[in-house]
Amino acid sequence: MAEIKTNVMRILEQKKIPYQAHSYPHGEEPVDGATVARLLGQDPRQVYKTLVARGHSKNYYVFVIPVESTLDLKKAAKAAAEKSVEMIHVSEINGLTGYVRGGCSPIGMKKRFHTFFDSAIKKLDTVMVSAGKIGYQVQLAPGALLELTDGATADLTADT
């Protein structure tokens, strides 16, 4: 298989941010994040998914959480200083971010949105996020990811 270079990888290289590219077998349809972690032999606590929500103010926000976790909308709203937030409809993802469902990355969206990472990211040496295309992930240092996205950390996940 020819080596694929995604826009996310190009951005990381342009900014001289070290990363490791990973790919996994895929079809046209995305698989859930836990399956991605398993296919890549990664701890699911180090593989993060990117979610986009709309606040009560109609502003958009990006929330990045571990793949096996669920976004707590009340905690997300608190982090964003919003009265409430709701997930955007899957049909809005491409037009808003430039990415497709299952390939949405916090890096390189069409427009820069306020981005929040679950605070568990601070405990990790590396984190894996989508490389902007189904079947591809990038692994990098959490600090570099936070800096690149101007991200903040907050408690975002539902208690299990």
Chain centroid to CA 60: 14
In a 13 Å sphere around the CA of 18, the CA atoms on its Cβ side amount to 4
User: Phi and psi (nearest 5°) for 2?
Assistant: -65, 145
Going from the N-terminus, what domains does the chain have, and what CATH number goes with each? Answer: 7-154 (3.90.960.10)
- Residue 42 · residue 159 · CB < 8 Å: no
**pLDDT tens digits along 10-54:** 999 999 999 999 998 877 666 788 889 998 999 999 999 999 999
Per-residue DSSP letters for 124-151?
-S-EEEE-SSTTEEEEE-HHHHHHHHT-
Residue 24 DSSP code: -
pLDDT of 30 reads 66
Tell me which residue has tokens 């790919």.
Answer: 23
What pLDDT is recorded for position 34? 87
pLDDT in tens, 101-159: 888 999 999 999 999 999 999 999 999 999 999 899 999 999 999 999 999 999 999 97
- Between CA 113 and CA 22, with CA 62 as vertex, the angle to 5 degrees is 110
